[in-house]
Chain A
Amino acid sequence: MESIARSQSATGPGVPASTERPLIYRQSRWTRLTHWLWAISLFFMLLSGLQIFNARPQLYIGKQSGFGYHNTILEIGAENTSAGPRGFTEIFGHRFDTTGVLGWSGPAGNETARGFPSWATIPSYYDLGTARVIHFFFAWILTTTLLVWLVASLINGHIRRDLAPRLDDLKRLPQDIVDHAKLKFHHTREYNTLQKMAYGGVLFVLLPLMIITGLAMSPSMNSVLPFLNELLGGRQTARTIHFTVMLLLVGFFIIHILMILAAGPINELRSIITGWYRTDPTAHDDKTSEA
C-alpha cells in the first residue's frame, strides 16, 4: 500500500471502489484546513488587489513613479480615438487594444475608464478604501495560515515526507513532464516532481515574496525594515513584483484547476475535503517509498 504504482495509467473517476484501488488517508486536517483558508483569502486578496491596482493602473521600476521621467513598464488606460474611447494596455512600450476588458469596460453604452473590469474587482464599483479593508483583513488570514501550516507541517512531517525534493524527483522529472503532457496521472500517496515544484514554489517562494513585497510598500514598515526596499530595488519595483507574483499565482491556480479536472475531480476534491484519496491499484515496484 505504501509502494508507488508506476505502470498503471489513471482510471477515470466514477469507477466503483474496489479493493485494488484502496482509499488512503492522504491529507492531514492541517493541510486541508489551510488549503481552504488560502483559497478563500487568495480569492478576496486578488479581487480587492485588482481594485487597489485600479487606483493607479501603472507599474514602475525603481524607488518612485516617473512623472517627470520614464520608468513605467506597464500601463492600463483609456484614450479617445476617432472610433470613440478605447481601452489599451501598454507593456514595455508595446501597446495593445484591450477595450472591453482592460482600460475601458462596462455594460454596453455604459462603459467607463477603469483598469480591471468590474467583474474582476471587489467592490465592483470604484472604492479604494473598502478594497484596502478587505485586502489587509485577508492579508492577516493568509499570513497566519501560512505560519500555522508551516508549524503543523514541520511537526506532522508533511514538508519532509511530501514536499522535500529528493534525488529521485530529479531523476523522474523528464518522465513526469512527459506523463503530464500526455495527461497520464498516477494516483499515489506521494506527490510527483512537478507537484512538489508547484506546491513548494507557491508555499516557499511566491507567498513569502508576496508578503515581503507587501510589507515593502508600507511606509511604516520601511522605518522598521529599511533594507527591504534596497534589496528589492525600491518601493515601486516592490509593487511591480507584488503584481507579477499575483500573475504567477493566478497562473498556478488555473493549472491547478486544470490538473484536478484532468486527474479526476471527485477523487482530488475528496482528498482535500475529507483527506481520503483513492490510489491506483497497488503494484509492486522496484521503488518503494519510505514507510
Chain B
Amino acid sequence: MTKFQISRRKFLTAASLGASGMMLSGCDAFDSQLSIGSGLRSFLENANGLTYRAQRLLAGRDALAPEFTEADIRQPQRPNGVTSPDDDTYKGLLANNFADWRLEVSGLVEKPLSLTREQLQNMPSRTQITRHDCVEGWSCIAKWTGTPLSLLLDQAVVKPQARYVMFHCLDTIDRSLSGDIKYYGTIDLIDARHPQTILAYGLNGKPLPVENGAPLRVRVERQLGYKMPKYLYKIELVDGFANVGGGRGGYWEDNGYDWYGGI
C-alpha cells in the first residue's frame, strides 16, 4: 500500500487554488445549496441566531429607537407590500368604516379581549416620530400614534408559558394550493413590551390610511418593516412557532428572511 503523503505547502497551495477556482466559476454555482432547509443554508443561518443574541445583549430591553422632529416629516409614509387588500372580509369592514372590526387578544392569556376601535383609542396612547426602515434598503420618517402593546398584554394577563406575540392580519399576501395565505408574524415578549411598540391607528396626525394598514398596524421600532404587520385583527400569545405558518415565525421568515429583523 502506497503511503499517501502531501506536504503542508502543497496542501495549502491546492486548497487556495481550489477556493479561487470555485469563486471564479460563477455565482449560480451556489444557488442549489441555498434553498430553505438545505444543509449549507441551515449552517449559514446559525449566524442569524448569533446576530440576534448580540443585538439583544447590546440593546437590552428598553433602549429606544431614535425619534425625530416634525421637521423631519418631509413626505407621506411610503406604503409597501399589500396596499389595498382584496379580501371580502376586509372590504366589508372598510365599507362600514371598521365599525364591526374588533381586535382580539387570545391564546395564552388569562382574560381574552375583544376591543372596538373606539375602546382602543380611549386607552392611553403614545405618539412617536420614527424612521421606518424597509428590508429593501429605503427609509421613511413619519409620526405614529397608537396604543402601547404592553397595556393590552397587561389587561389580558399573559400566561407564564407564553413566549411570543403572533399577529394575525386581514390581507392576503400569497396564494397556495391550500388556499389564501394571510399575512402573519411574531415578535418576542421583550419587543412586545418595549415602550415604543405600539398598535398604531394614527399616521402623521390623521387616521391610519388603508395603504399603511388601516385600521391597525404594529410598530416595532428596533426592527425592519416586515416585522410590523398591517391590517391587524388578532393578537395571539403562543409558546412557539409550531403552529405559525411554516414554522419559522412569520410569512417572510417562511420565505427565508431572518426572524429577528434588527439589521
A-to-B contact residues, CB < 8 Å:
36, 39-40, 43, 47, 52-53, 55-56, 58, 60, 63-69, 118-125, 127-130, 132-134, 136-137, 139-140, 214-215, 217-224, 226, 229, 235-236, 239, 269-270, 273-274
Contact = CB atoms under 8 A, between A and B. Distances in A.
B133 A235 contact: yes
| Most A C-beta atoms less than 10 A away, residue of B26, B65, B66, B137 | B137
A212 B207 CA distance: 37
Given A129-B252, A217-B263, A224 B63 contact: yes
B177 interface: no
Contact of B136 (A47, A56, A119, A226): A56
B188 to A, nearest CB: 13
A132 B257 CA distance: 8
A134 B44 CA distance: 7
Contacts of A134: 34, 44
Interface string B120-143: 000000000001011111111100
A65 B74 CA distance: 10
Given A56-B137, A219-B221, A239-B137, 20 more contacts: A56-B136, A64-B75, A67-B140, A68-B76, A118-B27, A124-B28, A125-B31, A128-B257, A129-B256, A133-B44, A136-B258, A140-B51, A218-B262, A219-B131, A219-B133, A219-B223, A220-B263, A223-B66, A270-B13, A274-B12
15 contacts: A36-B19, A39-B19, A47-B27, A55-B137, A64-B139, A136-B47, A136-B51, A137-B44, A140-B47, A140-B51, A217-B263, A219-B223, A221-B59, A235-B133, A269-B13
Interface residues of B, number: 55
B47 A273 contact: no
Contacts of A120: 27
Interface in B122-172: 131, 133-141
Contacts of A128: 135-136, 257
Contacts, number: 164
B27 A119 contact: yes
A29 B208 CA distance: 60
B84 interface: no
B45 A122 contact: no
A143 to B, nearest CB: 10
A64 B140 contact: yes
A56 B12 CA distance: 40
Contacts of B97: none
B41 interface: yes
Nearest to B220: A219
B9 A273 contact: yes
B50 A140 contact: yes
B58 A124 contact: no
B263 A136 contact: yes
Contacts of B137: 52-53, 55-56, 239
What are the 6 tightest A-B residue pairs by CB atom distance, in nearest-first order?
A68-B75, A220-B262, A129-B256, A56-B137, A218-B263, A137-B47
B55 interface: yes
A63 B47 contact: no
B255 A129 contact: yes
Contacts of A139: 47
Contacts of A55: 135-137
Interface of B: 9, 12-13, 16, 19, 23, 26-28, 30-31, 34, 41, 44-48, 50-51, 55, 58-59, 63-66, 68, 72, 74-76, 78, 131, 133-141, 221-224, 252, 255-258, 261-263
Given A69-B74, A217-B263, A273 B140 contact: no
B256 A127 contact: yes
B74 A64 contact: yes
A223 B139 contact: no
Contact of A235 (B19, B28, B51, B139): B139
B258 A133 contact: yes
Contacts of B34: 122-123, 127, 130, 133-134
Contact of A219 (B23, B48, B222): B222
B47 to A, nearest CB: 4
Contacts of A64: 72, 74-75, 131, 138-141
B61 to A, nearest CB: 11
Contacts of A137: 44-47
B197 to A, nearest CB: 12
Nearest to B42: A133
B45 to A, nearest CB: 6
Contacts of B141: 63-64
A63 B131 contact: yes
Given A63-B141, A218-B262, A220-B223, A130 B55 contact: no
Contact of A123 (B30, B46, B47, B261): B30
B263 A36 contact: no
A127 B257 CA distance: 10
Contacts of A239: 137
B191 to A, nearest CB: 10
A118 B28 contact: yes
